[in-house]
Each structure stands twice: as C-alpha cells, then as structure tokens.
Amino acid sequence: MKKLLITGASGFLGWHICELAKQKWEVYGTYSSHELEISGIKLLKVDLTNYQQLKDIFSDIAPAAVIHTAAQSQPNFCQTHPQESHIINVTTSCNIAGLCADYTVPCAFTSTDLVFNGLNAPYQETDSICPVNIYGEQKVMAEIGMLERYPQTAVCRMPLMFGAKTPTAKSFIQPFIQTLQAGKELSLFIDEFRTPVNAVTAAKGLLLALEKVNGYIHLGGKERISRYDFGQLLTEVFQLPTTGLKSCRQADVKMAAPRPADVSLNSSKAFALGYQPLSLKQELQTLFRTYI
C-alpha cells in the first residue's frame, strides 16, 4: 500500500480523512497537542512549524501523497493572533508544498469558502477572491504561495462541515444539539448562507481531488442554506425541541472577525469529477442513525 501523510489528524476533518483513507492507503497522521489513537493509523507528534521536523517527516516516511489539513481555523482567534496563526496557516503550508515539489508527490490542501467576501455567491473557482477577515486572508496567501511553489497542488476550498464527533474534536452541530436538548435558547443567523457538507463526504472529495485535481476545486454541498434553516432541519431530523431555536442577524452578535454574508460555493466542477454529496436531509438522517 502507498503511504499517505495527513497533517492535522487530531482535527475534525483530519480524523475523518484518516478513517476513510486507511482502507486504501498506509496512513501516517500528524498531531501537535491533542494526542490520540486511530486504529490502523501511524500517528506522529510533530511541530509542523519547525521546518527541520517537517523535513525529517518527509525524509523518514517518503510519502506517496500528502493531504494538508492542519491549521488554526478559528477566524476569531486568527483575528486576534495574526502572527501566531500566520506561521501555521501560511508559512507551514508553503513549506509543505515545497517539500511535495521536492518529492514530486500529489498534495491536497484544505482552504476555505471564507476567501470570498460574500457579495457575489454562489462562487466558482475562477471568481475573484476578497476575504473580509484575517483567517480568509491567510488562506488566500497559502493558496497562492503553495501553487507558486508547486502548481500541481490541489487547493480544495472547503465549506462549513458537520458530522459525528471524533475523539479529539467535534463539529458545530454537537453544541447545537446539547443546547436544544437542555431546553436552552439557540440563536442562529438568518442572513449567513453556506453550502454545508458532511465531513465524510468532504473526506471523499479530498481523496478524489488528490488523485484528479491540480489547482482550485470547490467541495461544497449541493444546497445553499442559512444557519437558521440548517438548525430547523437539524431539529426535524434529530427530533429536537424547537422552542429554543431563535433567529438573529450577524449584526446582532459581536465577534472579533467580520463574517461574510453568503459564501455558498458552486461545486459543479467537483460534481463532474464524481464528488457526490447527498441532500442535507439525507446527510443528517445518515448521521442521526449513528447517534441512536
């Protein structure tokens, strides 16, 4: 079996990729602070911001391909800690692309729908980028820097993702479910739109992109939906109390990082390659069965 290196294995998406990829690859996953075990995966504690450690990993493993998911992905943290987050989000990403170029191996990178300003959705790969927060700016710098170093990189712009919690991470739906089950109030935006996807589906898309894509690809879901409407769908499928679900607007909530209104993705390019998200209701129904 060929060796696949996955950075950020302790992250929500990284864990799901490891679980899926181990069926066909010999998987090596990196983590920094959240120690974990994944059956059938060789896990390595690595400081990816240390270039020597990064070089040693490539030298020791000699991977046949790399999926780079490790990041500081909280927009509010990036907004308040721009230098600290730049090191992992930009510098490390460019270094990984350079090493993939040295070893001439496929590389897939997880970028974000937040590279767009939210004014001209749905966005295609060729649309102009114009991030409104520092996290989005850092991902743009990483996209450009990685493709300069290694044009064969698959730059995968990821949407909002949900799914089953992992040993070291969870998605945004777990707090939603807990809040509503506890009978507390949950306020969700009616004026923020995304194209969410299940993390398992996203992982399939990344493995497809690793094989078939050079340059940009969007891996969004098939439906544009507001946070509030997603919450309504979640209460329906998971049979949650609806009394606590309230609507609000972005302007009602003070956050460090500005948020774009609509960064829904046009992912028809990926669909044509065989990327197949289900409807949101189907994705949530599949997920609900694992919760029972």
Shared domain check, 139 and 23: yes
244: containing domain: 172-195+223-264+279-291
What is the pLDDT, as a whole number, of residue 36? Answer: 87
**How far apart are the C-alpha atoms of 15 and 19, rounded to whole Å?**
6
The b-or-e profile of 215-244 (16+ CB within 10 A means b, else e) is ebbbbbbbbbbbbbbbbebbbebbebeeeb
Give a yes or no: residue 146 inside a domain: yes
Q: Contact 123/113 with Cβ under 8 angstroms?
A: yes
Shared domain check, 152 and 28: yes
Shared domain check, 209 and 96: yes
Shared domain check, 256 and 227: yes
What is the pLDDT, as a whole number, of residue 203? Answer: 98
Q: Kindly report the CA angle at 282 between 281 and 286, in degrees rounded to 5?
A: 120
Shared domain check, 214 and 76: yes
**CATH (domain of 121):** 3.40.50.720
Beta bridge partner(s), residue 225: 194
86: left (phi over 0), alpha (psi -120 to 50) or beta: alpha
Give a yes or no: residue 57 inside a domain: yes
Shared domain check, 141 and 7: yes
- What is the reported pTM? 0.96
Determine how many CB atoms are found less than 10 A away from the CB of residue 50. Answer: 12
Q: Of all helices (H) and strands (E), which one includes residue 176?
A: helix 173-181
Give a yes or no: residue 273 inside a domain: no
Tokens of 233: 């769908």
Radius of gyration of the chain (CA): 18
pLDDT, tens digit (0-9, with 9 covering 90-100), for 45-60: 999 999 999 999 999 9
**CATH (domain of 256):** 3.90.25.10
Shared domain check, 235 and 114: no
Domain count across the chain: 2
What is the pLDDT, as a whole number, of residue 290? Answer: 83
Cis peptide before 122 (omega within 30 of 0): yes
The b-or-e profile of 132-171 (16+ CB within 10 A means b, else e) is bbbbbbbbbbbbebbbebbeebbbbbbbbbbbbebebbeb
Give a yes or no: residue 10 inside a domain: yes
Nearest to 125 by CA among 93, 97, 155, 151: 155
Given a cut of 50, the residues of the chain with pLDDT beneath it are: none
Give a yes or no: residue 29 inside a domain: yes
Shared domain check, 150 and 122: yes
Shared domain check, 113 and 17: yes
Shared domain check, 71 and 16: yes
Shared domain check, 185 and 205: no
Give a yes or no: residue 272 inside a domain: no
Shared domain check, 185 and 144: no
CA distances in angstroms from 262 to 111, 137, 220, 283, listed in the order given: 17, 17, 13, 21
What is the pLDDT, as a whole number, of residue 18? Answer: 97
What is the pLDDT, as a whole number, of residue 189? Answer: 97
What is the pLDDT, as a whole number, of residue 292? Answer: 53
